[in-house]
């Protein structure tokens, strides 16, 4: 029985249903779950950490990523392109994916997430070149090595350029191939138990790269297995024009006709919903992963997050792929999201603490997880701590619940714990040799790009 005791935490921001902020308390966990929170706990543990100068937060939860894109970020040839042209250019690189690229990009991307307080990552992987191997299994092995809680997806595409889609023929599959492998991945890797370290969603890419039949059959299969559904939606006006031209309706109406609304569905981006569609999202409990930095970089627009929150639409936070973000830090998304909505709608903009709750409880809701997202007895011991004595935090002690979004945090967090295990300490990963992995990843990335 592994146990961890955080002793005398200066300030504990729980993000629980009562929004409790506790001072000078201990937190004790066993076998990955929080057993007690309170002052002067009598427990002893395998490891005790002095937290007397620390602010403690629930682990951040990333609800949309493309980890393989780590190896195609910051490329000069795609800077300044908007989504459709950007995708068309990058598919020529992504068609070279293999297990080693997936392994090292997952170690790199998830390692960065952990260093900035993220304890759960949802990855939307939908590029499966012929003969590339078991990419989902490889990804889950890499996540296990790091110690991050992983929510993977069996994504898919069945429309190539010859069918009016964007990707080349080599990365699309037939509906039958996709459904067959989706069943394999679900049966082999999905773990629905509380505290699960690996779960699976079904996630066809987008309305302009998959057929209506694939969307319909994926929804049926997901509900047969009791798993969640995810895709991109309403990210750009180009997508809206595409569905109007091909199907005669706007994107949300099209998806709803195929069974793609409900509390088991969440969309990435959700920028271009109209008023009626926002109300429909709220009515059906369909969620949105907010990706502020990616939306800005690709000039896609600003999601109507204040209105979604007011209506009760489930909303979580995400970094999106590193090629449309160039980083993997949810802490950065917190501050950028806060400032963006202050600029666009200052009177309705979320507070710093409300942004933190979107990245914790809100994100957990999107993933259908009741065991993560806040710090309370019985929940998973997923958290991070920041030493409040940092030079850059001078003058911020009045509101540590807001500070991550309003002031921001420069540099990695001091401690990250996932399922009761310390995976980041003093700003460094404890589970891998960072320098060695970075060297291998850089070499792999160079070879991968050279072959494109």
What secondary structure does DSSP assign to 360-394, as a single string?
IIIHHHHTT-SSSSS--TTSB--EEEEETT-GGGT
Distance separating alpha carbons of residues 137 and 69, to the nearest angstrom? 18
Per the CATH hierarchy, to which homologous superfamily does domain 60-366 belong? Metal-dependent hydrolases (3.20.20.140)
pLDDT tens digits, residue range 240-284?
999 999 999 999 999 999 999 999 999 999 999 999 999 999 999
Q: 162: pLDDT confidence band, cut at 50, 70 and 90?
A: confident
User: Residue 164's pLDDT is what?
Assistant: 79
**DSSP assignment of 242-265, as one string?**
HHHHHHSS-HHHHHHHTT--STTE
For 200, the 3-state DSSP assignment is strand
- Residue 108: left if φ>0, alpha if ψ -120 to 50, beta else—which one? alpha
The SS3 assignment for 239 reads helix
Which residues have CB under 8 Å from 4's CB, separation 6+?
28, 29, 45, 46, 47, 48, 49, 381, 417, 420, 421, 422
pLDDT at 433 over 90: yes
Q: Check pLDDT > 90 for residue 1.
A: no
- Give the list of residues 6+ apart from residue 14 with CB closer than 8 angstroms, or none: 20, 21, 22, 37, 58, 374, 375, 376
Higher-scoring residue by pLDDT: 421, 297: 421
User: What is residue 315's predicted lDDT score, i.e. its pLDDT?
Assistant: 98
Domain coordinates of the chain in residue numbers? 3-59+374-429, 60-366
Q: Are strands 47-50 and 315-317 parallel, antiparallel or unpaired?
A: unpaired
φ, ψ dihedrals at 182, nearest 5°: -60, -40
Supply the pLDDT for residue 137. 98
How high is the pLDDT of residue 443?
97
* Contact between 158 and 208 (Cβ < 8 Å): no
Least confident of 109-123, 313-327, 376-390, 406-420: 313-327
DSSP category for residue 435: H
149-156 and 60-62 strand pairing? unpaired
**Which of 314, 332, 337 lies closest to 262 in space, CA to CA?**
314
Q: Which helix (H) or strand (E) holds 5?
A: strand 3-13
* pLDDT, tens only, 312-366: 999 999 999 888 888 899 999 999 999 999 999 878 999 999 999 999 999 999 9
* Residue 208 tokens, joined: 């302009």
Beta-carbon contacts of 19 under 8 Å, excluding residues fewer than 6 positions away, are 353
CA 198 → CA 233, 349, 391, distances in Å? 25, 34, 37
Provide the token pair at 55.
């602010």
Report the pLDDT value the prediction gives residue 235, as an integer from 0 to 100: 95
Instruction: Choose among 440, 385, 394, 391: nearest CA to 417.
Output: 385
pLDDT tens digits, one per residue of 179-233: 999 999 999 999 999 999 999 999 999 999 999 999 999 999 999 999 999 999 9
pLDDT tens-digit series, residues 14-48: 999 999 999 999 999 999 999 999 999 999 999 99
pLDDT tens digits for 94-137?
A: 999 999 999 999 999 999 999 999 999 999 999 999 999 999 99
Residue 166 has pLDDT above 90, yes or no: no
Q: Which residues pair with 386 in a beta bridge?
A: 55
Tokens standing for residue 315: 């909303």
Structure tokens at 391: 């030079």
pLDDT higher at 285 or 88: 285
Q: What is the pLDDT of residue 79?
A: 84
CATH classification of 3-59+374-429 is 2.30.40.10, yes or no? Answer: yes
**DSSP conformational letter for 163:** G
In this predicted structure, the answer to whether residue 379 has a pLDDT above a threshold of 80 is yes
Backbone angles phi, psi at 198, to 5 degrees: -150, 125
Mean pLDDT of 61-79: 93
């Amino acid at each position: 029985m592994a146990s961890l005791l955080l002793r005398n935490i200066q300030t504990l921001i729980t993000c629980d249903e009562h929004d409790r902020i506790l001072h000078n308390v201990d937190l004790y966990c066993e076998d990955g779950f929080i057993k007690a929170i309170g002052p002067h706990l009598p427990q002893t543990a395998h490891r005790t950490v002095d937290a007397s100068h620390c602010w403690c937060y629930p682990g951040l939860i990333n609800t949309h990523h493309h980890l393989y894109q780590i190896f195609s970020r910051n490329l000069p040839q795609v800077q300044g392109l908007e989504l459709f042209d950007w995708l068309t250019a990058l598919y020529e690189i992504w068609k070279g994916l293999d297990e080693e690229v997936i392994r090292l990009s997952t170690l790199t991307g998830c390692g960065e997430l952990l260093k900035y307080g993220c304890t759960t990552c949802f990855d939307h992987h939908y590029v499966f070149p012929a003969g590339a191997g078991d990419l989902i299994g490889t990804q889950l092995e890499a996540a296990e090595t790091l110690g991050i809680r992983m929510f993977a997806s069996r994504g898919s595409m069945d429309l190539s350029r010859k069918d009016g889609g964007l990707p080349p023929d080599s990365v699309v599959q037939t509906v039958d191939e996709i459904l067959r492998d989706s069943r394999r991945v679900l049966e082999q890797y999905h773990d629905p138990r509380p505290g699960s370290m690996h779960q699976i969603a079904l996630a066809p890419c987008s309305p302009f790269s998959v057929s209506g039949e694939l969307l319909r059959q994926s929804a049926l299969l997901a509900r047969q297995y009791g798993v969640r559904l995810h895709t991109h939606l309403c990210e750009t006006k180009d997508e809206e024009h595409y569905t109007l031209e091909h199907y005669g309706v706007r994107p949300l109406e099209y998806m709803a006709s195929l069974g793609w609304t409900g509390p088991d569905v969440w969309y990435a981006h959700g920028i271009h919903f109209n008023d009626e569609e926002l109300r429909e999202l709220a009515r059906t409990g369909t969620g949105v992963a907010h990706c502020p930095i990616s939306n800005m970089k690709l000039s896609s627009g600003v999601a109507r997050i204040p209105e979604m929150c007011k209506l009760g639409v489930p909303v979580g936070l995400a970094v999106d792929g590193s090629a449309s973000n160039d980083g993997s830090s949810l802490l950065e998304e917190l501050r950028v999201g806060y400032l963006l909505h202050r600029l666009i709608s200052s009177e309705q903009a979320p507070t710093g603490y409300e942004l933190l709750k979107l990245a914790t409880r809100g994100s957990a809701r999107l993933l259908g997880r009741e065991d993560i997202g806040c710090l309370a007895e019985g929940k998973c011991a997923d958290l991070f701590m920041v030493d409040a004595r940092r030079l850059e935090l001078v003058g911020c002690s009045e509101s540590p619940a807001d500070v991550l979004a309003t002031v921001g945090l420069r540099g990695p967090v001091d401690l990250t714990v996932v399922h009761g295990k310390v995976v980041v300490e003093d700003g460094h990963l404890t589970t891998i040799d960072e320098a060695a992995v970075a060297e291998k990843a850089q070499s792999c990335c160079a070879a991968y790009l050279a072959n494109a």
